[in-house]
Chains A and B, each alone.
Chain A
Amino acid sequence: MRSTMRAIDLSVGYGVRSVVSKINLDLYPGEVVSLLGPNGSGKSTVLRTLLGLQNPIQGDILLMGRPVRSYSPSQRSRLMGAAMSDRPRPWGLTALEMVEQGRFSRQPDEVACLNALRDMDALDLSDRFLTELSDGELQRVHIARALAQEPSLLLLDEPTSFLDQPRRVEVLRRLADLARERDLSVLLSIHDLDLALTFSDRCLLICGGTLTSGSPEDLVLSGALATAYGQPRGWDPLSHPEPDYPPVWGEVDLNCPKPLFRWVVRGLRRRGIVPGVGPALKIEEVEGTMFSLDMDGKILVTHRLDDLLDMLSEAHRG
C-alpha cells in the first residue's frame, strides 16, 4: 500500500538543537496512529514539522510520494489538514465561518462545512460565535475545520485535551470511523494512554529522543512505554491509582449483579468493608438500584449505598 506520508531519517528541533531525531515513519490510508510521549518530549514539534510549519533539521518528508516542500501552500492544504494545539478564537466569527476557513484552498461549500461540523457532533454550534464557545466546543470546531479541507491526512495535536470523558471516547471513535470510511490517515498526539491504546491501530512512541513504532500492546509488553514515561517495567498503563482505603473492620456476604460489582466494592472499601462472610447484602435493580441488608433477620432497604453504610457503621459502633 502507498503511504500517505513518509519521513526518512528526519530530525526535528529548533536551530541546531534537535529534539527528536532519526524519525522513520509511514502513515497509511485508513489508519489511526497515536503519537505518544511524556510532556516536553517533542510531540508538537514532530507534528509541526510534518505539517510544514517549521523546517526539519535534517531528513526528508514525502507527502503522497513527493517532497512536502515541492507543494504550494494551497496544494498542501488540500492533502493535509491539521488542528494544532494553539486554538485561535478570533472575535466576530461563528463556528460555521471558522469551518468555512477550511475551504480556503477549495471551492466554498456550505454543505461540506455543515457535514464536517456534524462529523464532530458540533452542528448545533454552527451559529454560535467562537468567543461564546467552551474550550471543548472550540476544539471540536477546529477539528471540523480541518475535516472541511477534505484532506487525505489529518494531523491533530491533542484533539481530546479539553473534552469531557464521554466526548473523548466519542471524538476518537468518530475519527477512527472517518479514517476507515474515507481512507483518511490520522496522526494524533494524545496523553490519555487508555484511549490511545484502545482506538489507534498503531502507536508511535517518543522515547529517548527517537521514535519507536509498534502496535499498542507490543509497546506495553516490550516495556517501551514504561521506559518512555519513567515507570517501573511492569507498569500497567491501563490501571488507575486506587484511593487510600481505611483499614478493614467488617465483611458482608455480597450478592450483586456483575455490572455493579466494581462500583459497590469500591464504595464498601471506602468505608472499611470488604466482601466476605457476614450479613447478606443483596443488590437488585428495581426502580433504580435497591440495596437490602439482612441483619439477623431484620431487613434494611435503601436506594443509596451511603445510607446503608451509615446504618452499618452505626450498628457496628453500637
Chain B
Amino acid sequence: MNWYSTVTSSRAKVPLALWLLLGLSMVGAMVAGLCLGSVSIPPLSIWSALTGGDVPVSWRTIVMHLRLPRVLAAAMAGGGLACSGLMMQTLFGNGLAGPSVLGVSSGASLGAALALLLSPTEGVLSRLGLLGSSFIGAFLAMALVAVVAERVRKGATLLILGLMMGYTINAVVSVLIQWAPAERVHGFVSWSFGTFAGIGWDRLPWMGLALSLGVVMALSGHRLWDSFLLGESCAATVGADVTSIRRRMIMTVAILAGTVTAYCGPVAFLGIAVPHLARGLIGSARHRYLTPASILTGATLAVLADLFSRLPGGASSLPLNAVTSLLGAPVVAWVVMRGGDR
C-alpha cells in the first residue's frame, strides 16, 4: 500500500443521475414540443405518428412536417449556440462573451441584410440567398476577430473590440434598412427576431451536419480548452500552443454560431446564459463535463423557448428572441449574483 492510496479522491465527479436528468429533460421538452400547440396531440399518438401507426392524417402531417423538424431544429440550434457560447467564454476568459456579443451575429445580420434588402434579381448574391450570405457574414466577422486576436493578446480588449465591431456592423445594417423598400424590411425584421420554424426536411440534414462537425471539434478538444482556463501565459508555461489552440477555438465557434445564425437568425441570450446554467449544475469548469452539459441544457431550453413562443397559437405567436431574452436575462442575473465572478 502506497501513501497515496490513503488519499481519498472525492473530487466532484459528475453523478450519472445528473446526466440522466439532463438527457431526460431534453427528451421531455422535445415530446412536449411535439404534443403541444394549436392542436394538442397525446404523446402515444405522437409515437404512432412517428412509427407510421394508426392516427388521423392531419395529425401525421402536423407532427412529421411541422413540429418534428421545428423541434429538431430548435434542439440542434440551442445545443450549438450553448456550445459556441461556452467556447467563447473560455477563449476570452470572460463570462460575458457569446456569439451575440463578438460580432458573429452582427456579421450574419449584415449578410442577411444584404441578401434580403438589396436582393438583386440576378448575380451571385441572389443565388446565395439568405442562408449563404448570412453564413458568409458570420464567418467573415469571426475571421476578422481571429486576425485581430493574433495581435491583441488580452481577452478583455478583444471583447471590447468585438463589441465595437458589432455596433459598427449594426449601424451599417440600420442604414441599409433605412434605404430599403418597406416590403423587404419586413422579411429582414422577422429573420432578425429569430425563429426555428421554416427549416424543413430539405435543410435540416445540412444544418445537422455542420453542427455535428462543430460539436465534435468542441468535444474532442476538451483538454486544450481546459488549459485556457489558466490564462494564456500560464497555459503557455504548461506547454499549450496558445496560438494554434486559439485558432481552433475560433474556427469551432465560427462553424457553430455561423450555422445556427444563418438558419435561425440571431437568437439572443442562449449562447451567453446556458454555459452559466451548466456551470451551476455541474459545479466544475472542466470542459469534459461542461461541454456536453451545455449542449443538453441549451437544446432543452431552446425547445422550451420555441414552445413558449408558439403557445398563444395561430398568427399571434411571440418573437423567439423576446422569449429567450425574457427567460435568459433573469437567469443569468441570478446565476451571476449567486456564483460570483466566473
User: A86 with B11: in contact, given A93-B285, A104-B227 (CB under 8 Å)?
Assistant: no
* Residue of B233, B234, B283, B341 contacting most chain A CB atoms (<10 Å): B234
Residues of B within 8 A of A216 (CB): none
Q: Are B7 and A114 in contact (CB under 8 A)?
A: yes
Q: Are B238 and A105 in contact (CB under 8 A)?
A: yes
CA distance A15 to B3 in the complex (A): 50
Provide the A76-99 mask, 1 if CB < 8 A to any CB of B, else 0: 111011101010101111101110
User: A74 with B7: in contact, given A92-B342, A93-B285, A97-B286 (CB under 8 Å)?
Assistant: no
> Pick the contact of B342 from A91, A94, A110 — CB < 8 Å?
A91
Q: Are A81 and B237 in contact (CB under 8 A)?
A: yes
CB under 8 Å from chain A, chain B span 57-75: none
B284 at the A interface (CB under 8 A)? yes
Task: Using CB atoms, name the residue of chain B closest to A102.
Answer: B238
Residues of A within 8 A of B279 (CB): 91-92
> Pick the contact of B230 from A88, A94, A110, A111 — CB < 8 Å?
A88
Task: Using CB atoms, name the residue of chain A closest to B224.
Answer: A104
Q: Looking at chain B's contact residues, is the secondary structure mostly helix, strand, loop, or mixed?
A: loop
CA distance A95 to B200 in the complex (A): 49
User: A146 with B237: in contact, given A86-B231, A96-B11 (CB under 8 Å)?
Assistant: yes
Q: Are A93 and B9 in contact (CB under 8 A)?
A: no
Q: Are A93 and B237 in contact (CB under 8 A)?
A: no
A308 at the B interface (CB under 8 A)? no
Q: Are A90 and B229 in contact (CB under 8 A)?
A: yes
Q: Are A73 and B342 in contact (CB under 8 A)?
A: no
A196 at the B interface (CB under 8 A)? no
Q: Are B284 and A96 in contact (CB under 8 A)?
A: no
B236 at the A interface (CB under 8 A)? yes
Q: Are A93 and B284 in contact (CB under 8 A)?
A: yes
Residues of A within 8 A of B290 (CB): 92
Q: Are A111 and B4 in contact (CB under 8 A)?
A: yes
A101 at the B interface (CB under 8 A)? yes
Task: Using CB atoms, name the residue of chain B closest to A71.
Answer: B239
A115 at the B interface (CB under 8 A)? yes
CA distance A118 to B4 in the complex (A): 10
CB distance from A168 to the nearest CB of B (A): 23
Residues of B within 8 A of A111 (CB): 2, 4
User: A73 with B239: in contact, given A88-B234, A92-B286, A97-B286 (CB under 8 Å)?
Assistant: yes
B12 at the A interface (CB under 8 A)? yes
CB distance from B214 to the nearest CB of A (A): 23
Q: Are B241 and A72 in contact (CB under 8 A)?
A: yes
CB under 8 Å from chain B, chain A span 290-311: none
Q: Are A104 and B239 in contact (CB under 8 A)?
A: yes
Q: Are B237 and A86 in contact (CB under 8 A)?
A: no
Q: Are B233 and A84 in contact (CB under 8 A)?
A: yes
Task: Using CB atoms, name the residue of chain B closest to A79.
Answer: B239
Residues of A within 8 A of B239 (CB): 73-78, 104-105, 149
Residues of B within 8 A of A131 (CB): 340
22 contacts between A and B (CB under 8 A): A52-B236, A72-B241, A73-B240, A73-B242, A77-B237, A78-B239, A81-B237, A84-B233, A84-B234, A86-B231, A86-B233, A90-B229, A90-B231, A90-B285, A92-B284, A93-B284, A94-B12, A96-B11, A101-B227, A104-B227, A105-B239, A127-B9
Since A73-B236, A92-B284, A92-B285 are in contact, a sample of 16 more A-B pairs with Cβ atoms closer than 8 Å, ordered by chain A residue number, is: A48-B233, A86-B233, A86-B234, A88-B229, A88-B231, A91-B339, A92-B290, A93-B285, A96-B9, A101-B227, A101-B230, A105-B239, A111-B4, A126-B11, A145-B238, A149-B238
Binding site for B on A (CB under 8 A): 48, 51-53, 72-78, 80-82, 84, 86, 88, 90-94, 96-98, 101-102, 104-105, 110-111, 114-115, 118, 123, 126-127, 131, 145-146, 149
**What are the 3 closest A-B residue pairs judged by CB atoms, nearest first?**
A77-B239, A92-B285, A105-B239
